[in-house]
Amino acid sequence: MKPTFHPPLNVDWASGVLCGAPLICKTTSLGDLAGVFADQESWRQHDPSQTVYSVEMFDSPSGEGELYVGVTHLNPGRVGDEYFMTRGHFHARREQGEVYFGLRGEGLLLLQDEQGQTRLERVLPGSIHIIPGFTAHRLINTGDAVLSALAVWPSQAGHDYAALANGFALKVTPETVKLMAKEVQNG
Ligand SMILES: [Fe+2]
């Protein structure tokens, strides 16, 4: 049988720019993140049109067993003493996991299980994050430059934002980063 040849999809590892197929793009601004940051007074003082993050993903098939591939670009910034972050979510199909790959910038991946237990993983170029099922996830930019991460997830996973209506149990501030650095230093 004669094979057919297809040009591959492509990601620029340094910038996270995707190409090779049509993309779906979504931008989230500060105004879209009502109730997400703890310091509501500070949030109200920011320009609501300021972009916090954008997601680009391939417009690929969405059936059972299919996979989506996309990149999140999270801007640096703070609201009060809290770093810019994604809204974060559980998957609607709770058992389904996801993999993140750090591409550029520096930050944290906040993971929270259904009992409210949290943990943090450092995100940096080349880091790999295997997010298990039943685990909410949020990216946090602790650096001065854009944090970009590639993600691969089951296209049927969906998003459940309502389950986190009261937010994540951990607020990440410069104090958190200092504590983490100390812990790393102490091995
Ligand atoms: Fe996800």
- Spacing, Cα 100 to ligand 1 middle (Å): 9
Is 75 part of any domain? yes
Q: Is the pLDDT of residue 47 over 80?
A: yes
- Spacing, Cα 179 to ligand 1 middle (Å): 27
Q: What is the pLDDT of residues 124-146, one digit of tens each?
A: 999 999 999 999 999 999 999 99
Q: What is the pLDDT of residues 164-185, one digit of tens each?
A: 988 999 999 999 999 988 888 8
CB 113 within 8 A of CB 135: yes
| pLDDT number for residue 8 | 96
Domain with 165 in it? 10-185
Total domain count, the chain:
1
| pLDDT number for residue 80 | 97
- Spacing, Cα 159 to ligand 1 middle (Å): 7
| pLDDT number for residue 101 | 98
Is 5 part of any domain? no
Q: Is the pLDDT of residue 94 over 90?
A: yes
- Spacing, Cα 89 to ligand 1 middle (Å): 6
Q: Give which of 91, 88, 71 is closest to 172, Cα–Cα.
A: 88
Taking residue 141's Cβ as centre, other Cβ atoms within 10 Å add up to 27
Is 73 part of any domain? yes
| pLDDT number for residue 165 | 84
- CA 77 – CA 141 distance, rounded (Å): 8
- Spacing, Cα 155 to ligand 1 middle (Å): 10
- Spacing, Cα 4 to ligand 1 middle (Å): 33
- Spacing, Cα 14 to ligand 1 middle (Å): 22
Q: What is the pLDDT of residues 107-123, one digit of tens each?
A: 999 999 999 999 999 99
CATH of the domain at 75: 2.60.120.10
- Spacing, Cα 49 to ligand 1 middle (Å): 24
3-state SS class at 48: coil
Q: Quick one: average pLDDT of 159-167? A: 90
- Spacing, Cα 3 to ligand 1 middle (Å): 35
**pLDDT class for 46, splitting at 50, 70, 90?**
very high
Is 70 part of any domain? yes
| pLDDT number for residue 97 | 98
